[in-house]
Structure 1
Amino acid sequence: MSSKPADATFLFIAVEGNAMKKLILLIILIILTMFSGCIDYQNDFMEEDISSILLELNETKDNYILKIYLIGENSNLVKREGILKISVYDDKNNQLYYKEIFIDLGSFEHLDYGDGVLVAINKDEINKSSSRMGRVSIDFVYNGNEVWIDKPITLPYEKENTNLKSSDAYHVTYSWEYKGRIHYLDLYIPKNLYDYYKSKKREYVEDYSYYVLDPYDDWYLNRIIQKIDEICKENGYDERDRINLVISFVQQLPYTYDNISTGYDEYPRYPIETLVDGGDCEDTSILTAALLNQMGYDVALMRFSQHMGVGINLDNNYGYYYEYNGKRYFYLETTETGWEIGDLPDELKDEGAMIFPITEKPIYIWSWEGYLYSNGYAEVTVNIKNAGNLEGRIKVYCAFDAGEGYVYNPTESPILVIEPGEEKVVKLKLKVPDDENTRLIVGLLDPETNKLIDVKYSTELTT
């Protein structure tokens, strides 16, 4: 293990145990770290067995103490070293500290079962922040495997911020049941992050993947996923259980009606909002899709006339599914407890669903207004925004309806290139047909297929 002598004031490595030989080993390790800058174990530990390694983080007055310990009995170590990566962030995701440390796996030869290697992070080495709440992110890569933890912490902070209180974050404790066992999870969600999402303008579109893909909540989604994976490992659960655990976690959130909790008839929530407030079927579907998408699954939102659920694309047969573009999306119900993969409520069995896969794509939010001039022409103004996360290429189309699939005087714009978050305004003029009962057709045209992907109509008028 290579280490610089200057780091000796920050890092110490010791072993837990009661035997005198462990105390002697501790002294030897510290001396070697401070003066030689190199620790080398000459032993046959490469032939010994380890099943897996776990991480545990605790806090003292001056340090954060990381314990690296082994569990199990059988494995085959290929490399002698593991790489430990330690990062500290504040609640605005600013990195306050980063360190890479090489851990000689030979250290574990001297440990009894359940004992561990200790690494201390001196709080004085962490950059000061105006934030009171933060997190430690730790990854340990060894023998082709990776274990990691993300844990909320109280940061060392500057004196002028001593008035900050725990009210700067929502401390939410979740409990839910799966297969007869109760599971718990604590999350500390910064209020400024919650307020950020609460203040965002609601975009009312059919495709709510706009709310699924926002990136600023990824750390909190990963913390839930980490807990799901810990439960699976402890209980020997398979992939089906892993997905059902996500569903059962979301199903236990309180059901809240939009018109009661927000004053709006329709108020789609971002995942962070739902984790704090609960939500209705759209909100829990958005959260479920966000979690499963973050876990690497191919998922979609399923919109019914009065309901929303989630679809997940899986190879095996798990019950009810909907086909879309050659894929089978198995239905997931997110609002009541007890539903698992492929369980479909009776009231939905005779109803079709609109399928919106969670992928990178442009999402168009648009409106239009028109004016008829006395000179026999009409002018249409279209406001269009790309609310997705991928560049969009689109054309605006206008025509008067002639009935039975025919139109009068169609016109279209040049191709518009619209970046994510960008808005554009398009004006088109077209001749008004004489003495006809008609209506104005305004739509968005895909330049690749030359087909309308969205269309709106005016009321009927006589020209």
Structure 2
Amino acid sequence: MKTSIKIVSILVAGLILGAVFNQMLYDADLDGIPNSRDAFPRDSNEWNDNDSDGIGDNSDPDDDNDGFNDTEDFFPFNFSENSDNDLDGIGDNSDFDDDNDGFNDSEDLDPFNDLALKFSFKNVNLIDRQNNRQTAPFIFFLYQGTEQLKRFDNEGNPWYVPWQETFNLTADFEYNIPDNQTLHEFTVVAYFLKFRNSEELDISGSNSSYRETIIFDLKNKTWLNSSSILDGSLDDSDDSDDASLTLDIDVFNFGYLKSFKWTFRMVDYQFSYNFDPARYSYYVGQSHKIFDYSDYLNFVTINDPELIEIAGILRNLSIEEEFDSLREIDFLLSFSQSLKYSEDNVTAGVGEYPRYPIETLVDQTGDCEDTSALLISLVEILGYNASIILIPEAWDGYGHAAVGINVTGASGVHYIVNEGEPDETSYYYAETTAPGWRLGEMPDLDSNSAYIYEAK
């Protein structure tokens, strides 16, 4: 009996040793990669060496040995590529159109940026008085060749401009121009509107026309034939239709130039920002699916460079006003609340479409989870701790999303996370969907039972 047990034990031990030996021959470091395909068969932490430098890819900070760290290399395994300016998946060294503006880099005046012009008409002066009325109805147009680019007016109506006084207009227009063309010609035409016939005003320094022709040199970013004041009184004629327009022309990188205006504590604030279309398209192309409540945090983007710049703009406004932390949070909250509320089925055509913050800012609209992701991103960038608050039964059949913010000195409605633990945190309720709500104030909901997910 004992002999048979010994034989069985020996057989079992042999089988085990054989299996181990066989495994060692197949996968010595037990990392799941066969020895034949494992560049480091004795190191379970490494199995590949893309650049053959003797350092495994998991440890190598530069896997293609091109001099660019993997964290900043768009193509970490491709030695010949490291950047992708237009985010089209083609490396800049291989891409014939690095700004994706439709013009080959070899003919593009700025191969990394899609250029545009911003026309800013500052003011008008109706130099020659035409009648005894106090004001004159005034409009003007911008043309390129025979194409009318823009009619400038006061929201569909003419401006009523006092005679012989400088009248502020603040009329802007952005125009995307061909980047492969140096000279661009435009014409400005101004009118005094009369009951029967409109009268063209003389804004040109030339005797040959009342219209001012502008030739802009895109390469040197200068006007060739005009100054910033279009003035009909500078010609030698004795006509009585002279007027002047003050105009600035700036070159900028074409994108989504958006203006934001809102009111906080009876003071109006505003700023403009030019969003990169490629970055907006990138976010639109990302997944917008939600499988679990915590997935809403996937739309918080604290590392986005454009969002960091916008947070910086808001921080600078806060510093100028000498806001303390609580006041700054309410200021940021008022900015988020100023964006138009809209349902996803109206703006996106689907029942649920959570937006990334850049999408919300470019679209200038969103619902509760969109403005919540935006506010969380902004306050996290500025150094505050935040969470998303999800209330499944906020109203009959409807859920609601809001933001929780941890800030010293706050009061009002709040939720406690990890209560009684060393990392206990109070998140004060922030309503992002309607103007006027301050930190700690909550609308009248059917339920305030919520799921809290901290942004990390």
Q: Which category of TM-score, normalised to the shorter sequence, fits these structures?
A: 0.3 to 0.5
The two structures have a TM-score, normalised by structure 2, of: 0.43
The two structures have a TM-score, normalised by structure 1, of: 0.43
Q: Which has the higher strand share?
A: 1
